[in-house]
Amino acid sequence: MGAEMKTEDKNIAELFGRIQNAKHLVALTGAGVSTLSGIRDFRGKNGLYNDMDAEKIFDIEYFMQDPSFYYGQAGSFIYNIDEKEASVVHLVLGELERRGFLKALITQNIDLLHQKGGSKNVIEIHGSPKTHYCLRCAGVRMDFDEAAALVRAGELPKCPKCGRALKPAITFFGESLPADALREAVSESQDADLMLVLGTSLTVYPAASMPDYTLRSGGEVVIVNNMPTPLDHRAVQRFDDLGEVFEGLKACLTG
């Protein structure tokens, strides 16, 4: 870098200033955040929808008919989390929370990488694979590590009472979103004076409505995504490259 800062560096420095000055900073993340960890997103240029029937993987009716389809397909991007490292985005968000800047992180993701990156206050509005449960027998639970070990061994996590395949507490198509998580996400979005919208195309509702709550409450929105979103024109700043932006924010935090 020469004597003058490059335009992109100036923009990232401006973003860091917004983060420092925010009274209630909230982040909303989508699948694009995890692509830097080697997990493919759903609707991006190289997304799962291009060569995999992702809707069938997460369809509750299909799961009830053939749970092995879900476990066979999802094994590659959910149950191999030990092989995936938190990206610079996950790590910087974790550090922003640790330093008291980031108050809440709302995520559509189900890969647990935000927790791996150090985030504590994670609101998983599409559910989470942390727990697996029986659709028939009340009280039957299995944690993620035990379920993942079985899936990696080519087996299904099964109920010890009835023998049925356990279902992850991920929200499938045909199911309602977890009410408590959704309520908390709306509340945090309304309280936010700045929301970072990261790696999401803002096309899946109700998650896509969270920035609207912030805007209607007088807050500002910054969008970082490699594809256009319906709210680009309302963002106070707009970036394309998550990796570049968060490497810049990392430098601001350590500089």
Residues paired with residue 128 on neighbouring β-strands, in sequence order: 169
Residues whose CB falls within 8 Å of the CB of residue 130, separated by 6 or more in sequence, listed in order? 112, 143, 144, 169
For residues 179 and 78, the model is more confident at: 179
Rounded percentage of the chain residues whose pLDDT exceeds 70: 92
pTM over 0.75? The answer is yes
> Do 18 and 224 contact (CB within 8 A), yes or no?
no
Q: Where are the beta strands (DSSP E) in the chain?
A: 25-29, 102-107, 122-124, 127-133, 141-143, 167-170, 194-198, 220-224, 237-239
**DSSP 8-state secondary structure symbol assigned to residue 143:** E
167-170 vs 127-133, strand pairing mode? antiparallel
- State residue 242's pLDDT score: 95
Task: Return the SS3 of 40.
Answer: coil
Round to whole Å and give the CA distance between 69 and 75.
10
Residue 8 has pLDDT above 90, yes or no: no
CA-atom Rg of the chain in angstroms = 19
Range with lowest mean pLDDT among 30-39, 61-70, 94-103, 245-254: 30-39
Residue 43 has pLDDT above 90, yes or no: no
Task: Return the SS3 of 78.
Answer: coil
The band of 2, judged by pLDDT with boundaries at 50, 70 and 90, is very low
Give pLDDT tens digits for 89-98: 999 999 999 9
Residues whose CB falls within 8 Å of the CB of residue 12, separated by 6 or more in sequence, listed in order? 245, 248, 249, 252
Q: Is 126 noted as a catalytic residue in this protein? A: yes
Give pLDDT tens digits for 187-238: 999 999 999 999 999 988 888 999 999 999 999 999 999 999 999 999 999 9
The band of 3, judged by pLDDT with boundaries at 50, 70 and 90, is very low
Burial class (CB in 10 A: 0-12, 13-18, 19+), 97: buried
Active-site residue among 24, 90, 114, 126? 126
